Amino acid sequence: MYHKVSPTQRDFLTVSVEQLQRQLDYVQKHFTVVKLSEVIAHIEKGKTLPKNALLITFDDGYANNFELAYPEFKSRQLPFCIFLVANFINKHTEHDGIQQQFLSHEQISDMAEYTEFAYHSLAHENLMQIDPKDWLQHIQSTKAKCAELPMLNAWAYTYGQFPKHHPQAYNILEEAFKTANISVAFRIGNRLNQLPLAHPYKVQRIDVKGHNSMLLFKLKTWFGKLF
């Protein structure tokens, strides 16, 4: 799970272009990189995924995903997906306390050859700060805002937050996703997923941080959370 790419900057949410290059070369050599649509087909239709399947995701939809990340994926013919915040599309707006540029409709269209897109909330709200009775409306509003875009029926939880310790609330969320035709939802978790996927609304992802070493990246891709 990535967020931002920078020419040289490395931090909690940002990898440098050099880091991304090395990481993509590594996963291309050791894993089978799959599309989000293949994961959805696995869940909806029971399509088999390879044992070493690896899905690459980006959250939020920053313009640098197009400017710096997409050329690296395209040159390697690797697919990836971006979870978009509906109200950030085509905007230069404040997020995380700073002004940031997000993907335009034109950039989204230009990335279509190797990129798939799905949902990451309406305005980056924390799901756990929304009343459960409003979850369905929130999901449907997010989908409606993106109606003109080539979106897949998948969701990534903002801040990785979902009602994992509250079974009753989780059941409400699961029903909301099903009503809104969302087939899969991604958390963080930092653990590997066993196939076939048994819990489609709790799929875990490994977060990639710019200040982590290449060795740690390799270890996490094979073993998940180490400590």
DSSP assignment of 89-154, as one string? TT-EEEETTEEEEB--HHHHHHTTTTEEEEE--SSS--GGGS-GGGHHHHHHHHHHHTTTS-EEEE
Query: Please, what are the domains in the chain?
Result: 4-223 (3.20.20.370)
Number of neighbouring beta carbons within 10 Å of residue 200: 20
- Cα separation, 93 vs 204, in Å, equals 29
User: pLDDT truncated to tens, each residue of the chain (227 aa)?
Assistant: 999 999 999 999 999 999 999 999 999 999 999 999 999 999 999 999 998 999 999 999 999 999 999 999 999 999 999 999 999 999 999 999 999 999 999 999 999 999 999 999 999 999 999 999 999 999 999 999 999 999 999 999 999 999 999 999 999 999 999 999 999 999 999 999 999 999 999 999 999 999 999 999 999 999 998 87
Helix H segments across the chain?
17-30, 36-45, 64, 70-76, 105-110, 135-145, 167-179, 214-223
Q: What is the pLDDT of residues 157-205, one digit of tens each?
A: 999 999 999 999 999 999 999 999 999 999 999 999 999 999 999 999 9
Here the tokens at position 84 are 């978009």
